[in-house]
Amino acid sequence: MAGILVMMGPVNGYAGAGNSKIAESGRITAETAAGADPGPEITAPSAILMEASTGTVICEKNADEPRNPASVTKIMTLILIFDALQSGKIHLTDEVVTSAHAKSMGGSQVFLEEGEIQTVETLIKCIVIASGNDASVAMAEFVGGDEGTFVKMMNERAKGLGMEHTKFIDCCGLTNSPEHVTTARDIALMSRELITKYPQITNYTTIWMENITHVTKQGSKEFGLSNTNKLLKMSTNFEVTGLKTGSTSIAKYCLSATAKKDGVELIAAIMAAPDYKARFKDAVTLLNYGYGNCRLYKDETPPELPKLPVNGGKEPEVELSYGEPFTYLGLHGEDFSGMERELMLEEDVNAPVKAGDRLGTLSYRLNGEEVGNVPVIAAQNVDTAGFADYMKWMTGWWRMKGEEAGGTFHR
């Protein structure tokens, strides 16, 4: 790209949470600047640790092996519920009528009765806190019309997220179908989508206990919800923010755990842990490893952008903006004080220009190597000037020349 090169000095980074390879044993190995790190040892046969804002994989173990996720399936159900809320298709206060099919769900449930009415928000709590299969089906029917249609929506959404090894058969993970599978990597991908696109989910995932009220033909009765994610009550050096547990005889013990510390959000996905406690222990091991080895750099004060001249436009210049903020996950305890920025802008911009057109790049270099970049885009449309625009411009030009000469311009 031909452009104007602007060099910027060092900028500050932020402390935070490595890229790893699959180990042959129970350990996860990670590459570091000093060589091979033995990494954390976990009992689960499949797991991954991801940083949420960048999507960087810190470490993984058999992360692409398809397995049954049990109730971790409900993360995708929640994504579709929040998609519908965001679009205005449904609202938190909408009332949902429990169908006979929803009532018939076994496994973990909140014991909804056929014909029972609950609000969307109450059912979200039932799904998130108590992992209610009946509540999941009730919401699937409310959003999709029926569970089958909703499951098709789940699979389409998964495809859009790049979840290459996932197929959903139901909306709650109760099925024992061998076709109902996902991977630790795909769990991390959908977990990332939920917590970054809909951060309000933590208003529900951090609730430890809450009561709901069943109102049926038999009368009104309180029912207590207790969170299945016991990490919320474990002593850790990070803040647990979610996310979802799952277990069946086929899936064994699964977990997507999310946490925050020093502005860094991590996702630990565990599949097929051998017992109830092992999944939580493995998650803590991975999260501690992540927070102990990685740092996150965020450029919160990028350089101010000039306006660029536009040839043949109705406007003489176009305003610029950054397409996205820049974040970079250092995997080896890098010192970000030497981070340098390099701005390159197009020198020759011709109309028409559409808002969003890429007109430059802001690159970031650390120790002489580029570690990433963000696009510089047009912040407005600039249409091509027509004959009337040229006549207006010429009139203004002649008037200015006349005033400079001390005379009067006459049409």
Please indicate, yes or no, whether residues 73 and 146 belong to a single structural domain of this protein: yes
Residues 162 and 222 in one domain: yes
Q: Summarize pLDDT for 81-123 with one digit per residue, the tens.
A: 999 999 999 999 999 999 999 999 999 999 999 999 999 999 9
Interstrand relation of 317-318 and 358-366 (parallel, antiparallel or unpaired): unpaired
Active site residue 131: yes
Q: Is 177 annotated as catalytic?
A: no
CB 362 within 8 A of CB 303: yes
Least confident of 34-48, 133-147, 360-374: 34-48
Distance between CA atoms of 102 and 122, rounded to whole angstroms? 15
Question: Does 214 or 29 have the greater pLDDT score?
Answer: 214
* CA 410 distance to own-chain centroid: 63
Residue 397: Cβ within 10 Å count: 10
Q: How confident is the model at residue 12 (pLDDT cuts 50, 70, 90)?
A: very low
Q: How far is Cα 48 from Cα 39, in angstroms, rounded to an integer?
A: 12
d(CA 304, CA 219): 64
User: Are 40 and 153 found together in one domain?
Assistant: yes
- Note whether 92 and 85 are within 8 A (CB): yes
What pLDDT is stored for residue 334 in this prediction? 84
Residue with tokens 């919800």: 225
What is the rounded CA–CA span in Å between residue 123 and residue 134?
9
Report phi then psi at 378, rounded to 5.
-70, 135
> For 321-346, what is each residue's pLDDT tens digit?
999 999 999 887 788 999 999 999 99
Looking at 293, 317, 336, which one is the last position of a domain?
293
Angle at 128 between CA 132 and CA 56, to 5 degrees: 130
Here the tokens at position 97 are 């009528």
- On whether both 285 and 324 belong to a single domain, the answer is no
Report whether the peptide linkage leading into residue 352 is cis, meaning its omega lies within 30 degrees of zero.
yes
Check which CATH number belongs to the domain holding 337 and give it. Answer: 2.60.410.10
The percentage of residues in the chain with a pLDDT greater than 90, rounded to a whole number, is 81
Structure tokens at 341: 């920025």
Span 270-283, mean pLDDT?
98
> Could you list the residue range(s) of the whole structural domain that residue 244 is in?
20-293
Of 273, 293, 313, the domain-final residue: 293
| Structure tokens belonging to residue 201 | 């989910």
Identity of the amino acid at 201 = I
Give pLDDT, residue 395. 64
**pLDDT-derived band at 289, boundaries 50, 70, 90:** very high
Q: Cα dihedral angle (278, 47, 189, 233), rounded to 10 degrees?
A: 20
Residue 74 is a catalytic residue:
yes
**Radius of gyration (C-alpha) of the chain in whole angstroms:** 27
Q: Which amino acid is at 18?
A: G
pLDDT at 167: 99
Q: How confident is the model at residue 403 (pLDDT cuts 50, 70, 90)?
A: low
DSSP 26: S
Q: 318 and 401: one domain? A: yes
**HSE (CB half, 13 Å, CA atoms) of 233?**
8
d(CA 217, CA 98): 13
In the numeric block, the tokens 């999944």 are attached to 279
Q: Which two tokens stand for residue 160?
A: 């859009």
Residues 92 and 79 in one domain: yes
Pick the catalytic residue: 131, 136, 247, 256?
Answer: 131
The pLDDT tens digits for 362-381 are 999 999 999 999 999 999 99
Q: Are residues 1 and 142 in the same domain?
A: no
Burial (0-12, 13-18, 19+ Cβ within 10 Å), 36: exposed
Same domain? For 214 and 302 the reply is no
28 and 174 both lie in a single domain? yes
Average pLDDT estimate for 307-333: 93
CATH of the domain at 185: 3.40.710.10
Number of domains forming the structure of the chain? 2
Q: Is the Cα torsion angle 150, 151, 152, 154 positive or negative in sign?
A: positive
- State the catalytic residue, choosing from 71, 136, 191, 256: 71
* 236 shares its domain with 370: no
Does residue 276 sit in the same domain as residue 201?
yes
Residue 70 scores a pLDDT above 70: yes
Percent of the chain clearing pLDDT 70 (strictly above): 84
Bridging pattern class, strands 264-273 and 252-261: antiparallel
- The per-residue pLDDT of the chain, averaged, comes to 89
Angle, alpha carbons 199-137-206 (nearest 5°): 30
Same domain, 355 and 384: yes
The last residue of one of the domains, among 244, 267, 293, is 293
For the ranges 103-112, 356-365, 401-410, the lowest mean pLDDT is seen at 401-410
Report the pLDDT value the prediction gives residue 22, as an integer from 0 to 100: 31
Q: For residue 25, what pLDDT is reported?
A: 37
Q: Which of 61, 74, 244, 261 is catalytic?
A: 74
Q: List Cβ neighbours of 130 (8 Å cut-off, separation of 6 or more).
A: 108, 109, 110, 225, 226, 227, 228
Q: Is 97 exposed, middle or buried (0-12, 13-18, 19+ CB in 10 A)?
A: middle
- Name the residue with tokens 């000039």: 306
**Which of these, 63, 49, 66, lies nearest to 265 by C-alpha position?**
49
